[in-house]
Amino acid sequence: MAFLGDYLPRKCGIATFTSDLLGAVAARRPKSRCFAVPVNDIEGCYQYSDVVRFEIEEQDLESYRRASDYLNTSNVDVVSLQHEFGIFGGPAGSHLLTLLDGLTAPVVTTLHTVLRTPNADQRRVMLELIARSTRLIVMTERGQTILQEVYQAPRGKIDLIAHGIPDVPFVATDHYKGQFGVSGKKVLLTFGLLSPNKGIEHVLHALPEIVAEFPDVVYIVLGATHPHELRTRGEAYRQGLEAIATRNHVEDHVIFHNRFVELKELTEFIGAADLYITPYLDEAQITSGTLAYAFGAGKAVISTPYWHASELLRDGQGVLVPFADPKAIAREVTGLLRDEARRNAMSDHAYKLGRAMVWSNTAELYMRSFELARQQGRALHALTAASGFGHRRYESPELNLDHLSHMTDSTGIFQHAQYTARNHSEGYCTDDNARALILAVMLGQLEESPKRVRALATTYAAFLENAFDRKTTRFHNFLSTDHRWLDERGSEDSHGRAIWALGTAAGRSPDSRSQKMAELLFLRALPAVTAFTSPRAWAFSLIGIHEYLRRQSGDRMVEYVRQELTNRLVAVFDKVAEPGWMWFEEGLTYDNAKLAHALILSGRSTGQTSVSERGIKALRWLVGVQTSQHGHLRPIGSQGFYRRNGVRANFDQQPIEAQTTVSACLEAYRATGDPWWQAQAQNAFDWFLGRNDLGLELYAHQTGGCRDGLHPDRSNENQGAESTLAFLLSLAEMRLAQTTPNTVLSAGLAAAITQ
């Protein structure tokens, strides 16, 4: 069993919890192998014990991948994860998701924080964490309720296990007071790492009234300043508390112990206390180890009503006071100090209830959760193996055209979005309307939402017709929202995409009028392509030509252009490609797989084995370059791309690269019949669904849109046209591949290509 989280001697509550849990489980299962994988928040490392086998650097994403590899090679049966947003790197601790995505063992996650009103990053991380965890452990009923109501976590996945506590004897307070120099005093205690949300100042403001009635009272504040507080503000909070004590003339009644104490000494401090006080200010605190320790040791507790305290101290098991209310604190402290019988009864009752929380019992409950996770993990492994791919099975989502429709008006589809809202300032472009027309034609073949799709197809086709300049025989690309073309002529690549879209409409559209319009515009625009120098424009045009020739196979002019463009693409490949760099250009940039796709398709259509061979070799090499060590797709990033003999950019990863890889691999499968290409297409498609470097889903189920890319630490939350179309085109192609019988090349040609 691997225990992942902070670990002693790091000074924080989760480090103590992880260390105690590991020790308790190891004691209950002495024949098991337990080790820790802690997270470091400082340069260098802590002086860990031998139980620590691997360390994660908090802000180093690659460190999380290495940890995942280590855990997999260690053959752990279960990973016990301690989760708190602030202890992992990335927005809301999102680096953790990268580790979880690569794990093969089931994960049991203990949630030390469950937020009722998370921000966007916290919600995203929590939803992903819930999805990747085999089981979830919460320490309070409130936590369980929030998980179900706010995050829709399945009830059957959640285990309720109280915070563990040390098993200490119930002794009279005088037994320990002497060693702390407070014999004969009435002792109030607060302990834990100090930070401004602890509310200790309100006890200090209550102290004058308490001391007026009980002059023998002493208030012990035990604990070092929280390391994060110390790094950012130093000892300002503690010094402010000392100043309050001085101003209130109670400095002789307050003892500050500025240190992090070990368990044995901590239990002695608790033993010396007559009353334990937790004046915390954050209602949403779902668990408090200090509260659990004091209550389980048989202390009468006065607390503010944060969630854990409200639940643990209900029904008179403790006393609750309003937040930031010194008068209420003074009233309840003096009341309990006066009423010894009530105070002792409260202590006795707390100690009896605490027996169920001692670490030996808690460890047994954890072991039950671990075993259940192992059983569920075996079932999931069987499902994964049955899918035919060596990773978690990602279910194909339902088609949702809402965002596509939202991004489209009577003119065409808008280029960009701010989150999900249309970005009017950047208008429309031919590139995206061409992609959208291709999608609409495919959806027509799938008979998806026929009326809606026909209307969209008409809009996109009209945009292309309007974009074509009959004088120059070139397409404009960029159109403003006030219907002004912003360029004299568009790029060669945008022209090539328009040819591709028009060829698709001409070759596949069931509507004869739409087909005829596309055919005429295709023929007018095609000759300009022969003057182009962009290999991608050639590739887009070749795919469009193939689509056009589905219906017009005898068109000699189009056949001539196809052969000319094919020869050019072959020539650039032969000039650049060599062992170790089997590619068309000196660098990998964008829309990469389309170059190989065009050769595979053209060679298959014309029976030119050598042409298809080149395309297959190039695509196989590209797939290798774009596959991570964990087996998932890692597209070339747009932050620098990848020059030969240079350093590849891993981010920002763009959805269009996953889409073109899906499309090219499906074409390779049609050409060869080799199921390996089917698997690669599925692998590329799964990138959208979360099988990627960050374990984040790019497809937005609620809207039907797709996020604009994968940054080093997060996804781009904008859902623009290119990204949304990339996902929808991939989904449509995957579905068409399932419904359309594969027509493979002759056996001889297929064998030649696969060699």
Same domain (yes/no): 549, 492: yes
Please tell me the predicted confidence (pLDDT) of residue 382. Answer: 38
Q: What mean pLDDT comes out for the span 663-688?
A: 94
What's the confidence (pLDDT) of residue 377? 67
Q: Is residue 158 part of a domain?
A: yes
Q: By the 8 A CB rule, do 461 and 518 touch? A: yes
Q: Is residue 169 part of a domain?
A: no
3-class DSSP state of 623: helix
Does 547 share its domain with 473?
yes
pLDDT reading at 342 higher than 70? yes
Q: Residue 543 — very low, low, confident or very high, per pLDDT cuts 50/70/90?
A: very high
The string of pLDDT tens digits covering residues 215-241 is: 999 999 999 998 888 888 999 999 999
Q: What percent of the chain has pLDDT over 70?
A: 95
pLDDT surpasses 80 at 399: yes
Average confidence (pLDDT) over 451-458: 94
For residue 190, tell me if it sits in a domain: yes
Alpha-carbon dihedral sign for residues 719, 424, 504, 606: negative
Q: Looking at residues 251-255, what average pLDDT do you find?
A: 96
Strands 107-111 and 79-83: parallel
**In terms of Cα–Cα distance, which of 630, 632, 636, 634 is closest to 649?**
636
Same domain? 442 vs 490 = yes
DSSP secondary structure of 98-154: HHHHH--S-EEEEES---SS--HHHHHHHHHHHHH-SEEEESSHHHHHHHHHHH---
**pLDDT at residue 755, rounded to an integer:** 34
Domain end (from 519, 546, 576): 576
Q: How confident is the model at residue 393 (pLDDT cuts 50, 70, 90)?
A: very low
Considering the domain boundaries, does residue 303 fall inside one?
yes
Domain of residue 436, CATH code:
1.50.10.10
Tell me, yes or no, whether 572 lies in a domain.
Answer: yes
- Residue 16: which residues within 8 A CB-CB, separation 6 or more? 8, 263, 289
Better-scored residue on pLDDT, 172 or 53: 53
Where does a domain end: 532, 555, 576? 576
Same domain, 367 and 351: no
Looking at the structure, do residues 640 and 748 belong to the same domain, yes or no? Answer: yes
Q: Cβ(195)–Cβ(275) under 8 Å?
A: no
Which backbone phi and psi does 160 adopt, to 5 degrees?
-100, 110
The verdict on 186 and 304 lying in the same domain is yes
482/570 same-domain check:
yes
Nearest partner of 431 among 484, 492, 488, judged by Cα? 492
Domain with 746, as residue range(s), is: 581-755
Query: Which residue did the predictor score with more confidence, 378 or 523?
Result: 523
Specify the CATH number for the domain of residue 668. 1.50.10.20
Which distant-in-sequence residues (6+ apart) come within 8 Å of 502 by Cβ?
A: 437, 464, 518, 519, 521, 522, 525, 544, 548
For the chain, how many structural domains are there in total?
A: 4
- Whether the per-residue pLDDT at 36 is higher than 70: the answer is yes
Residue 214 maps to which CATH number? Answer: 3.40.50.2000
- Whether 338 and 374 have beta carbons less than 8 Å apart is answered as no
Give me the residues paired with residue 191 across strands: 222
499 and 589, same domain (yes or no): no
Spatial contact of 101 and 127, defined as CB atoms under 8 Å apart? no
Residue 644 within a domain: yes
pLDDT value for 272: 93
How far apart are the C-alpha atoms of 499 and 543, rounded to whole Å? 9
| 206 pLDDT more than 60 | yes
CA–CA gap between residue 433 and residue 633 (Å, rounded): 27
**Do 742 and 626 share a domain, yes or no?**
yes
Whether 312 is covered by a domain: the verdict is: yes
Indicate whether 492 pLDDT > 90. Answer: yes
Kindly state whether residues 587 and 719 are assigned to the same domain.
yes
Q: What percent of the chain has pLDDT over 90?
A: 77
Identify the weakest region by mean pLDDT among 227-231, 474-478, 568-572, 674-678.
Answer: 227-231
Q: 317: left (phi > 0), else alpha (psi -120 to 50), else beta?
A: alpha
Cβ neighbourhood burial of 364 (10 Å; 0-12, 13-18, 19+) = middle
Average pLDDT over the chain reads 91
Residues in the chain: 755
Choice between 242 and 630, residue whose per-residue pLDDT is larger: 242
* Full-model pTM: 0.54
Total Cβ atoms within 10 A of residue 745: 19
pLDDT digits (tens, 9 = 90+) for 305-320: 999 999 999 989 999 9
Bridge partners for 303 per DSSP: 278, 320
Query: Within this chain, do residues 143 and 268 fall inside the same structural domain, yes or no?
Result: no
CA 69 – CA 65 distance, rounded (Å)? 6
Residues 491 and 590 in one domain: no
What's the one-letter identity of residue 469?
D
Integer distance in angstroms from the first to the last C-alpha of the chain? Answer: 45
Q: Contact, 51 vs 35, CB < 8 A? A: yes
SS3 of 189-244: the string is: EEECCECHHHCHHHHHHHHHHHHHHCCCEEEEEECCECHHHHHHHCCHHHHHHHHH
pLDDT interval class at 174 (50, 70, 90): confident
| pLDDT (tens digit per residue) in 602-656 | 999 999 999 999 999 999 999 999 998 888 999 999 999 999 999 999 999 999 9
Last residue of some domain: 300, 332, 355? 355
Residue 286 lies in a domain: yes
Whole-angstrom Cα distance, residue 75 to residue 263?
32
Q: Which run of H or E residues covers position 44?
A: none
Confidence at residue 750, expressed as pLDDT on a 0 to 100 scale: 38
